[in-house]
A and B are shown apart, each in its own frame.
Chain A
Amino acid sequence: MSSLLCALPTVFSIGLQRQLAYRWNYLLRALFSAVPLLVSWVFWEAVFQGKETVGRYTLAGLLTYYAVLLVVEAVSSPADDDFQISREIREGMLNPILLRPLPYGLYRGALFLSGRCAYLVAAFIPVLLCFFILSRVVHLELASFDILHGLPALFGSALLQFSLTLCLSLTSFWFLDISSLIFLVYSLEFLAGGHVFPLDLLPAPLFTAARLLPFAYEYWFPAAALCGTLSHREWQIGIGMQFAWAIFFLFLAHLLWKAGLRKYTAAGG
């Protein structure tokens, strides 16, 4: 157990060094992730012409949501962990990892964490700049910013996204190329996760259905919790659903790993 605890910071440190070696890549990624916010701003400004509210949102409220979404994305979205895991399985690179006295899930968890830390460092200034520019143009609704409800939801989102990524990547034990599956899930995350628009703009039955799926707890729920637009009861139900989905995917990943290892054939010396 103590050797395990010693190993994790080392894996984290190696992961961090690897990520920061490509800091330009990260900085570009952070800069480009701000472009959809700019597009949303321009588009919604046109939608709000002559209207005070759309659904229950004012223009400022909606832009606050998109800006907070940048923070959620920076903290919880995996970078290319899915493709890395898939490559490790497909190209037999699991061999040295299997020999280490470290569970694979924890190993990937430490790398995921290091990736998020590196990205946060790179994204900090661009995200701050976005908030600054937006706040000069519209009155961002940050007064109701709820860190107490937002932080657990943010942590839950990271855990959920990591566990879902792990499940998807582990299907590489059975399929040669899983990139189409990954991109299909991306599209679902974007639509049903509240990345393109806040889910409460959907008609009521669709909104209810979306909240039953895991995707809503990846982006919409943590963003809404941080914006302070959820009642305490809604937050309680949401956090319960979020962690239930995360635990489900972690358990599923465990099963996939066990079954996959039985199928895994390592070639080479």
Chain B
Amino acid sequence: MLYFIHLLKLWLIQVRYAITRELAFRANFFAWVIVELAWFVLQLAFVGVVYQHVDSVAGWNRYEMIVLVATNQLIQQIFTAFLMPGLVKLPDLVRTGGLDFLLLKPAPPQFLVSTSSLEIGPLANAGIALIVVLSSLHSLAITPTLSATFTYLLLVLAGLFVHYALLLALVSFTFWIVQAESVLLGYYSIFQVARLPREATRGWFRVIFTFAIPLLLVANVPASVLLRNMKITPILLFLGTSLSAALLASLFFYLGLRRYQSASS
């Protein structure tokens, strides 16, 4: 228990440092908020264009689809704020031998790699995504109950685990291939699956992206909790698969770490 408190203290120091750094480069902070917002607008514009031509896609109407897209954005932005900046630096650390400095520190390597860098800007966009979710629910005349809200937040956390598992697994490839910058493109490409309504998929695609890489559950399950009376089974399934995915990715990271040879002299 004391060990976890120690890690929490370390993490809070990183957060404080990140806030200080962001405030030092305010123009950069606002520029990134605008960039992320532009990508969100792009997704909403796509929904707008599609629903100009149809009333429903796989049983999801326009506002329900916006709740799905915005929920995905909410999870992605929280992930981008707290975990992604550290993970994407791993390929560079491995190539240059900079990982040595992290390995010498008295904390688990996975924790240090994952939390070595933070960005506060995406949290502003997470807030915007939440506002979009709430305004779409208002348009649908839905007022979520307290238990639905609590379950939604819990499932957002589970979604973070899936994002984390996928990116950790992808960046861990850097222990085998020298230049692994394209894994970031891979992360963004694969995560487009999370914006699909699960009902739109079928066959092997649905099986793979539900059980092997549970991307179809990341935004679908939390959104469905708000929009529909969801049964407990898919919620438990999602919680289970997200935890399993994170554990498997962690094992893969440590497997790769055993191959690490310092690049420094």
A191 in the interface (beta carbon within 8 A): yes
- Are A46 and B177 within 8 A (Cβ)? no
A181 and B34 alpha carbons, distance in the complex (Å)? 10
Contact of B192 among A39, A197, A202, A203 (CB under 8 A): A39
Q: Which of B5-13, B179-187, B238-246 contacts A (4 or more CB under 8 A)?
A: B179-187
A191 and B183 alpha carbons, distance in the complex (Å)? 23
- Min C-beta distance of A115 to chain B, whole Å: 13
Question: CB-nearest residue of chain A relative to B37?
Answer: A187
Chain A residue contacts of B196, Cβ below 8 A: 39, 42-43
Kindly state the interface size class of chain B when it binds its partner.
35 or more
Interface positions, chain A 6-43, Cβ under 8 Å from B, are 22, 24-26, 28-29, 31-33, 35-36, 38-39, 42-43
A45 and B200 alpha carbons, distance in the complex (Å)? 8
Give a binary string over B11-55; 1 marks a CB under 8 Å from any A CB, 0 the rest. Answer: 000000000000000001001101100110110011001101110
Chain B residue contacts of A184, Cβ below 8 A: 31, 34-35, 38
- Are A196 and B42 within 8 A (Cβ)? yes
- Are A33 and B185 within 8 A (Cβ)? yes
> How many A-B contacts are there with CB distance less than 8 Å?
95
- Are A46 and B192 within 8 A (Cβ)? no
A196 and B35 alpha carbons, distance in the complex (Å)? 17
- Are A33 and B189 within 8 A (Cβ)? yes
- Are A35 and B190 within 8 A (Cβ)? yes
A241 and B52 alpha carbons, distance in the complex (Å)? 28
Q: From DSSP, what is the main secondary structure of chain B's interface residues?
A: helix
B141 in the interface (beta carbon within 8 A): no
Interface positions, chain B 189-208, Cβ under 8 Å from A, are 189-190, 192-193, 195-197, 199-201, 205
A80 in the interface (beta carbon within 8 A): yes
- Are A183 and B35 within 8 A (Cβ)? yes
Chain B residue contacts of A25, Cβ below 8 A: 177, 179-182
- Are B57 and A24 within 8 A (Cβ)? no
Contact of A201 among B31, B49, B197 (CB under 8 A): B49
A93 and B244 alpha carbons, distance in the complex (Å)? 46
- Min C-beta distance of A52 to chain B, whole Å: 12
A180 in the interface (beta carbon within 8 A): yes
With A42-B200, A177-B28, A180-B32 known to touch, is A22 a contact of B179 (CB < 8 Å)?
Answer: yes
Chain A residue contacts of B185, Cβ below 8 A: 29, 32-33
A151 in the interface (beta carbon within 8 A): no
Residues of B with Cβ closer than 8 Å to A?
Answer: 28, 31-32, 34-35, 38-39, 41-42, 45-46, 49-50, 52-54, 57-58, 173, 177-183, 185-186, 189-190, 192-193, 195-197, 199-201, 205
Q: 20 A-B Cβ contacts within 8 A?
A: A25-B177, A25-B179, A25-B181, A28-B177, A28-B180, A29-B182, A29-B185, A32-B190, A35-B190, A39-B195, A42-B205, A43-B196, A47-B50, A180-B31, A180-B32, A183-B39, A184-B34, A184-B38, A187-B39, A190-B42
- For the complex with contacts A25-B180, A180-B32, 19 further pairs of A-B residues with Cβ separation under 8 Å are A28-B173, A32-B182, A32-B185, A35-B193, A38-B205, A39-B192, A43-B200, A49-B58, A54-B53, A55-B53, A177-B28, A180-B31, A183-B39, A184-B35, A190-B42, A196-B45, A197-B46, A201-B52, A202-B49
